[in-house]
């Protein structure tokens, strides 16, 4: 009998490069214990939804403003995840902060990728290029990426994996962002997704 695969929902806000890394890892066999069955964007027109469509994965938009607030947004999100029978939630460049009311429903089932070595340059005000700009402004020589479980504290959950990336003297935030994606994020996120899915499905 074929082993059950964990059902993965990927939450996105933008281009979906980390979503693509997960889809590619699924196609190449790095992710064997789970499959992406839903992509949710909190932004209209996010290219990540196009990536989902090309991969034959259902994609939906749930806009916080259109929902009229955090509680209604999280209820609609939870309903979509429930309908999808979601086992694992991956935040892949998802810019909406989720409340404790939401995260407590899914203990050790929500994972996030953050573009620094936590505890450096993390928390509610650090996301996207801001993280890389802060690392360069501070003059650190090494940065990287972290995959962690999500709890009620932004970037505060248990660390699953980290990978370091060296900073070069001529780096701009954009150049550094790309290198961190290529050398860290796109490697450790799929590996962490497989690890969490394997844990869930071994029961």
Active site residues per annotation: 114
Q: Is the separation of the CB atoms in 40 and 68 below 8 Å?
A: no
Helices 186-201 + 17-28 axis angle, to 10: 60
Q: List the one residue out of 74, 77, 143, 72 whose CA is nearest residue 114.
A: 143
Q: For residue 83, what are its two tokens?
A: 């309908």
In sequence order, what are the residues at sequence separation of 6 or more whose Cβ sits closer than 8 angstroms to the Cβ of residue 167? Answer: 135, 136, 140, 141, 142, 143, 176
Residues with Cβ within 8 Å of 123's Cβ and at least 6 positions away in sequence, in order, are: 154, 155
Look-up of token digits 């550094």:
176
- Element containing residue 199 per DSSP (H, E): helix 186-201
CA distance 127 to 112: 12
Strands 88-91 and 6-12: parallel
CA atoms of 70 and 75, how far apart (whole Å): 9
């Amino acid at each position: 009998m074929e082993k059950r695969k964990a059902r993965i929902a990927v939450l996105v806000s933008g281009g979906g490069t980390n979503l693509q890394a997960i889809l590619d890892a699924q196609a190449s066999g790095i992710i064997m214990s789970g499959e992406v069955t839903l992509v949710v964007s909190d932004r209209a027109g996010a290219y990540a939804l196009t990536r989902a469509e090309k991969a034959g994965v259902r994609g939906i938009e749930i806009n916080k403003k259109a929902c009229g607030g955090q509680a209604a947004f999280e209820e609609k999100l939870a309903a979509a995840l429930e309908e999808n029978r979601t086992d694992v939630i991956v935040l892949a460049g998802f810019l909406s902060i989720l409340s404790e009311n939401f995260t407590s429903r899914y203990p050790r089932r929500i994972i996030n990728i953050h573009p620094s070595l936590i505890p450096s340059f993390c928390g509610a005000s650090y996301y996207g290029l801001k993280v890389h700009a802060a690392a360069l402004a501070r003059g650190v020589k090494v940065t990287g990426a972290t995959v962690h479980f999500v709890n009620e504290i932004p970037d505060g959950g248990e660390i699953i994996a980290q990978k370091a990336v060296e900073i070069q003297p001529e780096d701009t935030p954009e150049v550094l962002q790309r290198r961190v994606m290529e050398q860290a994020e796109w490697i450790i996120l799929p590996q962490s997704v497989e690890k969490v899915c394997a844990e869930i499905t071994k029961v």
